[in-house]
Structure 1
Amino acid sequence: MALIERFTTAQEDELAREFLANGYVVRDVDDRAALDALRHEIVRLACEHLKCDLPADDGAFLNGIHQRVTVAEINALRLHVFNGLNAHSWCRPTYLSLARSIVEGVVGNELAMQNKVNLSVQMPNDETSTLAVHADVWSAETPYEVVEWTPLVDVYDTKAMYILRPEVNRTVRERMSTLKDGGREFDLFEAYKDEFHWVPVKYGQTLVFSPILLHGNVRNDTAESRWSLNCRLTGLFTPYASDEKCLGRFYTPVTPKVASRIGMNFRAPEGF
């Protein structure tokens, strides 16, 4: 009989080391067929909105969406796809399946998930679609969560998202606390622009990162459009940071185990 002295596997330890060192991991999705089917439905919904035929190549269609719509029209298209996608009962289970091994390795296997899977579209040279540098925890989201961010096309250079390295991210609070205005006029991007790392992610891969890290995107100066999905996941029993973004409002339990379901419904007898 082999005796075991560790509670975690070598693979789990390596994942933890990489996540702590970088604040994120990039891996191939767990279920490529599910990603392909998810992307195809997004293309179908886009074609439904545009009243055009389905393309022969889903990736080429998404990369070239700026050839079909203007900047003024893209948000209406995005909302149509977002609403149609989230109307499907399979949307969130399928999305979780893409990164389940990473999420369970980093967070755990009893999860709460954001109520909607978000969709972002960033066309070339579109100044209106940039996302200023921020950290999700600054918007009252729990620091115990992770963000599952999955592109529907290859992303690279300014078509990708940038993340601040953990060792640099730790300096932000102290630096801002010394400013007279509390950092309200502090240009975070300009202050750290040489420290941000643009994370290339190929179609077929997913990025899972910590909400504590500063991140965002700049104007997409490539010749292709970026499409990406994102959603937040946290441990079912971890603390929530606000009444607005808490269990039952912002998050829904998705993988409670039966012992937890029994425990949550237990009421001790009175009189003892």
Structure 2
Amino acid sequence: MDFLEKKETDLSAAFIQNGYIIQPCENLSGLERIRNKTVDLATNFLGVPYPTDTGEFLDEIASLVPVKKLNSFRLHILSGLMAESWFREAYFSCARSLVEALVGNELVMQRNIGLSIQIPDDNSSLLPLHSDSWGSECSPFEVVLWIPLVDCYQTKSMFILPPEADAKWRERVQEFAGAGTESLYQAIEPELEWLEVPYGNVLLFTPTVMHGNRINQESTTRWSMNIRFKGLFTPYSDKRLGEYFAPIAVRAASKIGMKFTMPGGFDE
């Protein structure tokens, strides 16, 4: 039996087939608030005036931040965003119905934020080809909500190996054990999809398939955030509830059930 609505069924089918969904942000004012706060933190770090065009400012950040200061710059922004009590709810609101349709409505959310600032021609911010669920740290029940703060395309974005191709190459991974990840990347490159995600859109993908990025060969800087979600009662790996994940949606029946204890005297 399947009692999902048609929209949910269609989304599920597309997600299973492609490994991702790209759709318009569900809360543009929340996304703007996140981008504006990011720019505010950036200008504070750099000691420059707040720009009239925030998108252009982020695109051209390489002219203001040398590579050697990039990590401290990124950490300053991360700590500033995490200090904002509204941030996590605003981030979730950008794709709430999408996450609920594909994952469920009792959810946990990653406690930390992933932030990528990938300036052109820089090799210090790379995330090589990988699948998060191959190790013991990540659960295959997770999804990643990836939100760009600028237009992301081609090498300014990320790549993903579609599930059908991923299943085929996963069976051959051991062939590349001695040659390394780059050798595997070269083999699968013709089947990779580079995802185009303009600002104002969100990307939800499964980290069970191979994905990653390369050197940004475009003329402007990539800014993207990523946070993981999973069902509250789905299996956890090493990244556990209360440590890596925090509950954000727990329904009344679950709260009652988790607190319920049987009375004594019913052993017979």
TM-score category (smaller protein): over 0.9
Is the CA contact 2:30–2:90 (under 8 Å) kept in the aligned structure 1? yes
* Compared CA separation, residues 95 and 248, structure 1 to 2 (3 A): same
SS at match of 2:193: strand
Q: Distance in 2 between matches of 1:108 and 1:216?
A: 26
TM superposition outliers: structure 1 runs of 4+ over 6 Å = none
Partner of 1:101: 97
Q: Distance in 2 between matches of 1:49 and 1:41?
A: 12
Structure 1: runs of 5+ lacking an equivalent: none
1:263 to 231, 238, 257: 257
1:51 to 15, 24, 47: 47
Partner of 1:110: 106
1:188 is displaced (CA, Å) by 2.1
**Residue type matched to 1:65 in 2?**
I
Q: Distance in 2 between matches of 1:96 and 1:192?
A: 33
Partner of 1:159: 156
Partner of 2:28: 32
1:131 is displaced (CA, Å) by 1.0
Find out whether 1:200 has 2:196 as its counterpart: yes
Is the CA contact 2:36–2:54 (under 8 Å) kept in the aligned structure 1? yes
The CA deviation string for residues 100-148 of structure 1, in whole angstroms up to 9 with x for no partner, is 1110010001001101121110000001111100111134211001000
**Residue type matched to 1:171 in 2?**
K
Query: TM-score, with normalisation over the residues of structure 2?
Result: 0.95
Q: Distance in 1 between matches of 2:205 and 2:2?
A: 26
Is the CA contact 1:65–1:225 (under 8 Å) kept in the aligned structure 2? yes
1:249 is displaced (CA, Å) by 1.0
**Residue type matched to 1:264 in 2?**
M
Q: Distance in 2 between matches of 1:270 and 1:137?
A: 43
Equivalent pairs: percent with the same residue? 43
1:269 is displaced (CA, Å) by 1.3
Structure 2: runs of 5+ lacking an equivalent: none
1:246 is displaced (CA, Å) by 1.1
1:248 to 235, 242, 246: 242
Q: Distance in 2 between matches of 1:188 and 1:110?
A: 37
Partner of 1:89: 85
Is the CA contact 1:63–1:153 (under 8 Å) kept in the aligned structure 2? yes
Q: Distance in 1 between matches of 2:233 and 2:184?
A: 33
SS at match of 2:190: coil
RMSD in angstroms over aligned alpha carbons?
1.4
1:7 is displaced (CA, Å) by 1.3
Q: Distance in 2 between matches of 1:76 and 1:249?
A: 24
Which has the larger displacement, 132-141 or 183-192?
Answer: 183-192
Is the CA contact 2:20–2:206 (under 8 Å) kept in the aligned structure 1? yes
**Superposition map of 1:228-243 within 5 A:** 228-242=224-238
Query: TM-score, with normalisation over the residues of structure 1?
Result: 0.94
